[in-house]
Structure 1
Amino acid sequence: MTGNGLRTFALLAALTAFFVGCGALIGGTQGALIAFALAAMMNVFAYWNADKIVLRMHNAREITPDEADPHLLRFGQDTADLAQRAGMPAPRIYIIHSDQPNAFATGRNPQNGAVAATTGLLQMLNREEVRGVMAHELAHVRHRDTLTMTVTATLAGAIGMLANFAMFSAMFGGGSSSERNGNALGAILVAFLAPMAAGLVQMAISRTREYEADKGGAEICGNPLALASALEKIEQRARGTINEAAERNPATAHMFIINPLNGLGKDNLFSTHPSTANRIARLHEMARAFGDGAQPVNDDDGPWGSRRPSTQPKRDFGGPWG
């Protein structure tokens, strides 16, 4: 397991333990057992159904090999080609009708992976940049980030539910006066601290995985500068374009390549994504280290330009794709 994988596992384990601890604080041993059972059931449900739920939330439409629109067909073919370069099964490919340029990946494993891009993304970026974005999303699927974030989001949501229950218990719980006072204190602590802790852990995992997916995506497409150029353009446009589906479902914001909810550009505990400037800087460092394999992006190509994808062989950047 990589260092990133170990850190993620430790964070997930801590979040699960915190969830069970919240149950114990509210209801003692019985509360801990109920919390553990609830977490297990929610995670099983999320494991099998989260991808379908997320895609439905964003009204995603699957692109198939018999797609009538030639541009969408080429988009699907390019994405499948990138999956082949990455040595992984071709994912299901979806399009989302939204003016905001963005993309995300979902699915419990590479065999059941799915990637989605907005119409705004395809209209704004050229072909090399789109390939860079989809390579980033394929890296998420390959690293199983989508499953990790689904489980984290599920546990975070469950902790929030426990917090609401804790407040209800503190206000209307029965028992003796001393028992009510003890339950009330525990409930208040859970109600205020649990959602905060869950959110911080979820955000920490999200920022870590984005850097790793940028690196993996650059390795897959073979051109870090294409992904860097795409991130810069998406960041600029996403700031002023509302993604209505994401606003209705903010729990899915961490799945997108750029935060669809706001344009904050700083690394902090309250942002689900790292600074886009930091991500671009790291990609430029990769390009400088392997300059002969990184081609500058020509904006003259325009959105979905006619320039063919890079024929450079996939570079070995020392990561899992090497």
Structure 2
Amino acid sequence: MDLAKKLRQVVAANFVEISRPNSRDPKPEKNPKEGSFVPAVGAAPDAPPVTPLEAEQTSPAELDKRFLSADLGLEANRPKAASLADPVGELEEPAMAVSPNAPAIPLATPSAQEAPVEALDVMAIASSEGRINFDRVFAWAGVPRSAAFTAEQALSMLQSMPADLPLRVKRLTVKATLDAVGQAVGAAPTDIVADAERKTVGLEAFTREVAARVQELCAAEDAEIERLRARIVEHEAAKMAVARHEEGAISACRAHMEELGQVVAFFTINESDAPAAPIGAEPLDDDTGELPAYLQEDAVKRLLGISRDQEVEGEGDRAYHFPKSTENRGGGTKASRLRNGSGSASSSASTEDLP
């Protein structure tokens, strides 16, 4: 109790000292005619010194009220005192009731430069790290901004109290604070609760709007992903088709290259360097030195496509022309005998058969 009493005395003395309009009186002006000094215009008469004993005469309730107002750094909207001779009335002046070293509680005053949020922009209001501009959220939700004691200020007051402090003590402390500043800023428990409820409703609407907006964005992104997947499938099919064309072209070119290589080898390779005869091939007759049957003249003609139906130059009728190897021993070929109308069955039997 002694410490609280001393604090009250010091605060009261400081208030009385601050209440003086000027601690230093202006110098008096000299009257050039009479040679005497007169008080300067606007100079206040000397007030009697105030001691802590005189300040103690003030009621304790009034000192408690002033002490709380000084600690909270709030301005009291009360009328000025009519006379400077009343130091207690002068203390009620807003500019004199604030201690220069007292921490101030910021009041929620509407900003004239802040534009209202007309359309919800989730990316601008809420970041991916979880930081949210609640002022823009409340402006979007239509929550009115009050100049009184806000719910956030009450929350800051509650968080500044010790955690192990009983609930009853916390409530009494907050009630005393609100009773002290209630007349100055209109801070009442009902107003704080109403502000918190309005902001809660705005936040709920914001969360629903964010969920719907995010769902729309995700649906649009999913549709874009499906479209890109279809394009990827098309490109994969086109790539496989090009690969098949490449494989077919390379195989055909290599096969034809091998065939052309056989032609080149046939005309350029030496017989000594020729590869051995394939397995199953008919070898040459060493006794007679003749070629195999499939390499003889008639077989070669058939392989080369030479037909036996050829017209003899200078004759209109179709005639057959045979090589000399088909002539018989009796002279002339069977075709010539038939053409001349000669020959008999015996002579025809003695000739060689046509191939």
Check whether TM > 0.5: no
Higher share of residues assigned helix: 1
TM-score scaled by length of structure 2: 0.20
Higher relative contact order structure (alpha carbons within 8 Å, sequence separation ≥ 6): 1
Q: TM-score, normalised by structure 1?
A: 0.22
Structure with greater proportional strand content = 1
Bigger radius of gyration: 2
